[in-house]
Amino acid sequence: MSWASYLFNDLNDKNVPVTRMAPSTDEEIAERITASTSSCTTESNEDTFKPDKVFESFHHQAKILISDQALLACFLTLWLK
């Protein structure tokens, strides 16, 4: 559900329509990264990332709107899961 909240607004509020996320500004992105407290460390080779690579932010970073096709694919992935 937390991953889906990066794609759609108001997922947890059943009283308002679900809408796509608006583009983020550089300031909003910088603020989210600064406020982030969680991280993830790889345990094995993950494509080009070697073991012990630390990822410090998984925040929604889009500066442009997600395409309609990608949004539909994300929705179907979440719905069918």
What is the span of the domain harbouring residue 12? Answer: 1-22+65-81
* 52 and 69 part of one domain: no
Same domain, 56 and 69: no
In this structure, the answer to whether residues 56 and 81 fall within a common structural domain is no
What DSSP string describes 6-73?
GTEETTT-TTS--EEPPPPPHHHHHHHHHH----EE-SS-BTTBPTTPEE-------SSPPPHHHHHH
**What's the mean pLDDT in 51-67?**
73
Predicted pLDDT of residue 59: 59
Q: Are residues 8 and 32 in the same domain?
A: no
pTM of the model: 0.45
pLDDT digits (tens, 9 = 90+) for 1-53: 566 666 677 777 788 887 777 788 889 888 877 877 777 787 887 777 788 88
Question: How many domains does one find in the chain?
Answer: 2
32 & 15 share domain:
no
